[in-house]
Amino acid sequence: MTKFIGLDPFPLELDTLSQQKDVERYAVEQLSSHRGIRNYNHVARYIATSFQWLENDGWETILGKLGPLIGDDVSPQTEREVAKYLVDEENLKGLGPKQARNLLQMMGLTRYEIPIDSRIMKWLNDVFKYPIILNPKGLSDEHYYEFVSDGIQILSKKTGIYPCELDAAIFANSDGNGWDDYKW
């Protein structure tokens, strides 16, 4: 997946998708031609559904929801509400709690809500010795995800850093030079 995301030009860019007669078929072709991408038929269907909705006035809706995240006085609650909206929006198929936060983080719109995955759970359990054992399998449940996120936000506040900084530190520690594979 990392190699696919790092392709230049990226085959699923909006401009490229807008030129396709059948977005789903095109997405299947692109995704299936790269090893390691699972469930590419489902992902392609999600891409096509989401793309269609965005092109039919969905952009206005999304931009209206993202607006409150711009500025210096954004609260953790505001970030969480936007992430939950992305997960709950029936037209944005395939976004779970982690993917919604990945998207917001990639756009540079979050400090408090981070994409929590097994890497972070392992760090919390093994390195930080979190007071309860966390199970990454529960992260698909929004309530469990928020429970873990609340703990990370409390920990971050006590240490004087934003959760996004903690995420970056854990990522760098876990993956070493993994970002070197990307073509920026």
Q: 94 lies in a domain?
A: no
Is 168 within 8 Å of 152 (Cβ atoms)?
Answer: no
Q: 107 lies in a domain?
A: no
Q: 7 lies in a domain?
A: yes
Q: 103 lies in a domain?
A: no
pTM as predicted: 0.81
Looking at the 3D structure of the chain, how many domains does it have? Answer: 2
Q: 158 lies in a domain?
A: yes
- Dist CA 122 CA 112 (whole Å): 19
Q: 126 lies in a domain?
A: yes
Q: Say whether both 62 and 2 belong to one domain.
A: yes
Tens place of pLDDT for every residue, the chain, 184 residues?
A: 667 878 888 999 999 999 999 999 999 999 999 888 889 999 999 999 999 999 998 999 999 999 999 988 999 999 999 999 999 888 888 888 999 999 999 999 999 999 999 999 999 999 888 888 999 999 988 899 999 999 999 999 999 999 999 999 888 887 665 555 544 4
Q: Could you say which of 54, 69, 84 is where a domain stops?
A: 69
The domain of 19 spans 1-69
Q: 20 lies in a domain?
A: yes
Q: 135 lies in a domain?
A: yes
